[in-house]
Structure 1
């Protein structure tokens, strides 16, 4: 059997495993309306639950990179262990706890273990596909998006059951994904030992104008994306409350809008091969920026059809540029510092999501919600400015 036939199943397996394991990411958000009943005094639970997962992921990526975990140990085994651990920590949301801090700790630990799933999945793919990795990134990031959206769909299917079924279901999916990687994806043929994480040297990438423009484009994208995802169910709920005749299924449309971004990731990856990653990323970021600025017009006024069309446009454009920024950053990073440079950019990007989520949460108590989401345009505007400034391909 030829080596190509032996590895034909690898990318589909990684993509499916990424989807199954990253379903843990927004599992708490999908059942927030049920969890909040146990903590009626916690008015900031949405922002804090989401932020703790992000903070856990940031901490995890730094720890995994500093100790070179996926270089020293088999990345498939690292993925497996983290997938199992994340599933167990995810189950902590079902414990009958009265202290909200314990719930937040479980979400933090879930996010920490996701650092051994999403980036390590990318690492496994790079160990198999030396050429054409950029195209593979579109499918891998698309899997992350579908996984992020899936708990909302699971909530729709289990609406007549206790909310804990969503948590049980996502943990079971993570266990399945972890086993799939362990059993079907051994170490890749291009796996080599990487250098130890060097916090000081990872800043060297920013000396390259192409790297710098791609990184700042990515930062602007991250300011907008996760905050839009986190507050999307609230947008749908508010539309229903403003239009008593509207009966939009909030979990279902939350899933559909977020999941649409998975499709645009794959399409964007294919278009970038013909038109260039920077051009497609810039167009996508400009469209999502326009959605932020036009949100007062379309979010809560007019018909449900216009409202949903607008949300789908936002969902598609807000994610399409994600794998393209990853490929631009990887291409422009110093060869010997690619891993550490990508780690730093990833960590800064997810740290920005925490600031954005908390900022919108605070502003929601001070300003008319009609104009609230215009603040998300700050990131794309700055990102577009960075992309227009220097050339990267």
Structure 2
């Protein structure tokens, strides 16, 4: 059965709306620092709180096989509403660092029922051309992640709390649209029972492991780069007083343009193969990590911005391709659990890399710290170069 033409646009738009919760705190980070008297390390702690919440949520969802046992659209709506409520908690005037960390943690927890579940819904509809479909879906995640920076730029004349109100409203809208217009897909194979060990069994398959390890290497770099884009821009501006960056706007563009790379990569993968395109994107982002210190000394702001835009394109282009390989190499009845547990481990890795850079920033002001981000891509490339096993490349 061919899915309705509105299915993919609804999934994509709903994913965009709901994932705008992810970096809502980062979009107003400087306001949080000044309003609640936080120190400069708050950017790392608050970003990691969301990631940690997402990890705990995905682990629990995977152990309980939530996305495989229950209607994914209903799970999506429930988590969108709850995530929106906790996101709004940040605007409470009585917040301290502890309460802010708690609100961001639970926002991340319920994102576990949005991002991987959205991919599960897409996989239930698009067995063929999954790479292209997930390209649109992850593209929506990217734009949703960047959107709070744009909102901050647009609402500079309004209270910063409007960014949180707007992202929470969007999340509820996305959840309602998903439940209203996207019923269970034709390729869904619901699990009839609770299988606690399912999230471990998926790693028994060598092809699945190879795809997952490539994804883990990619994740070491991705969210840390996104979290530190505003800091990179600010660092360059401090070193070049003649430069006057609009940091929220450029942060949005650098991150959001990666959504286009996801879509283009999905189309290219249909011609060249999923693994090959993922390898090239991961290699290019690895090179960006290694050469990044040289760009901070570049006197041309246009070249510096162009470099960050290029890095923003290649750092995310492989994400939907790895998710495609993971979904294709998992059993249909535990596909949702497989995607969820891989997300769980991948985002656990992001906490380590974010906190590592956060700590290194207190040790040194050197821009060579960003070379550390190359560790993940290097290991991911080694996983992809493995001759045994070969990854499946269904189209």
- TM-score between both structures, scaled by the size of structure 2: 0.94
1:333 matched residue in structure 2? 330
DSSP-derived class of the 2:191 partner: coil
Q: Give, in angstroms, the shift of residue 83 of structure 1.
A: 1.1
Match for residue 310 of structure 2? 313
Task: Tell me the distance in 2 between the aligned counterparts of 1:367 and 1:96.
Answer: 34
Answer yes or no: is 1:274 the counterpart of 2:282. Answer: no
Matched, 1:56 2:56: no
- The range that moved more, 295-304 or 318-327, is 295-304
Secondary structure of the residue that 2:93 maps to in structure 1? Answer: coil
Question: Unpaired runs of 5+ in structure 1?
Answer: none
- CA distance in 2 between counterparts of 1:203 and 1:80 reads 27
1:204 positional shift: 4.0
Aligned mates of 2:56, 2:187 — CA distance in 1: 28
Q: Which deviations, in whole Å up to 9, do the C-alpha atoms of 1:310-352 show, x marking residues without a partner?
A: 1011000000000111111222335555443333221110000
Residue of 61, 75, 80 corresponding to 1:78: 75
Distance 1:99 1:196, change over 3 A: farther
Residue in structure 2 matched with residue 40 of structure 1 by the alignment = 37
Name the structure 1 match of 2:352: 355
Counterpart of 1:12 (choices 9, 22, 29) is 9
TM-aligned CA distance change 1:33 to 1:96, over 3 Å: same
Q: 1:387 aligns with which of 384, 387, 394?
A: 384
Would the aligned equivalents of 2:116 and 2:339 in 1 still touch at CA under 8 Å?
no
* Count of residue correspondences: 390
Residue 330 to residue 76, structure 1, CA distance change in 2 (3 Å): closer
Whole-angstrom distance in 2 between the partners of 1:198 and 1:369: 49
Map 1:186-205 → 2, pairs under 5 A: 186-194=183-191, 196=193, 198=195, 200-205=197-202
Partner of 1:296: 293
Matched, 1:155 2:152: yes
- State how 1:140-289 maps to structure 2 within 5 Å: 140-194=137-191, 196=193, 198=195, 200-289=197-286
Higher mean C-alpha displacement, 133-142 vs 347-356: 133-142
Q: Distance between the aligned counterparts of 2:59 and 2:193, measured in 1?
A: 12
Distance 1:226 1:208, change over 3 A: same
Would you say the 8 A contact 1:295–1:373 is kept in 2? yes
Q: Match for 2:362 among 362, 365, 379?
A: 365
Distance of 1:197 and 1:389 partners within structure 2: 34
Task: Check conservation: 1:288, 1:317, Cα contact below 8 A.
Answer: yes
Greater shift, 244-253 or 129-138, is seen at 129-138
For 2:187 and 2:203, locate their aligned partners in 1 and report how far apart those are by CA, in whole Å.
Answer: 27
Distance 1:139 1:224 in 2: 21
Tell me the equivalent position of 1:31.
28
Aligned residues of 1:38 and 1:98 also touching (Cα < 8 A): no
Structure 1 segments of 4+ aligned residues over 6 angstroms from their partners: none
Task: Please tell me whether the aligned partners of residues 238 and 300 of structure 1 are also in contact (alpha carbons under 8 angstroms).
Answer: no
Q: 1:91 aligns with which of 66, 76, 88?
A: 88
Question: Structure 2: where are the runs of 5+ without partners?
Answer: none
Q: Aligned to 1:126, what secondary structure does the other structure show? A: helix
